Amino acid sequence: MKLFYLPSACSLSPHIVLREAGLAFELDRIDLATRRTEGGEDYRRINPMGYVPALRLDDGQVLTEGAAIVQYIADAYPDRNLAPRPGTVERARVQAWLNFIAAELHKAFTPLFRPDVTDEGRAVAIAEVGRRFDVIEAELSDGRPYLVGGDFGVADAYLFVVARWAIPRGVGLDGWPRLKALVERIGERPTVQVALAAEAA
């Protein structure tokens, strides 16, 4: 398998999940300016949408969208316990979190990555991110160590990646101590440390 990525981008989530699953894979970094991979391929031919992540399977098929990729890995390797069994309420909760992170939290960060964002637009985006963090903080109030139950899973990997953006983007995590503790706990996992080092993130 080959994962097409950008350092610290949302592609870090499937990168972590691949390592958690103990799978053999290659990394191929994308150059956003040229839309070429480090290996010399035209990335638009791999993923016409042009953004990361994309995962090329061993048979040549390509999967896109991080939430779909991490669920594929969890389902293909169920013994790794990265997501509850399909058809269970717990699995639906994982899917709900993945959708929330993708559609609400990840999207709320988008203006903060734009160099032309106005001060007003930046303030609005920071407030929007904060409201999403409030939801997560409230959900973690029961003392659970991860988003769904007591085990690390694919939704936690995605949350870790997106929540980390808060620090360099001026949002910070101090206002959400349970979320901050979750991010720190995930960051201590050996597979996460290896993934961060591999991306120099």
Is the CA virtual torsion 193, 10, 99, 16 positive or negative? negative
Give CA 39 to chain center in angstroms: 23
pTM for the full model?
0.95
CA distance 28 to 55: 10
Distance CA 163, CA 132 (A): 10
**CA 1/CA 7 separation, integer angstroms:** 18
Give the pLDDT confidence score for residue 170 in this predicted structure: 86
Domains of the chain by start residue, with CATH: 2-80+191-199 (3.40.30.10), 89-189 (1.20.1050.10)
> Could you read off the pLDDT tens digit of each residue along the chain, which spans 201 residues?
999 999 989 999 999 999 999 999 999 999 989 999 999 999 999 999 999 999 999 999 999 999 999 999 999 999 999 999 999 999 999 999 999 999 999 999 999 999 999 999 999 999 999 999 999 999 998 888 999 978 999 999 999 999 999 999 989 999 999 999 999 999 999 999 999 999 985
Question: What span, in angstroms and rounded, lies between the C-alpha atoms of 41 and 173?
Answer: 38
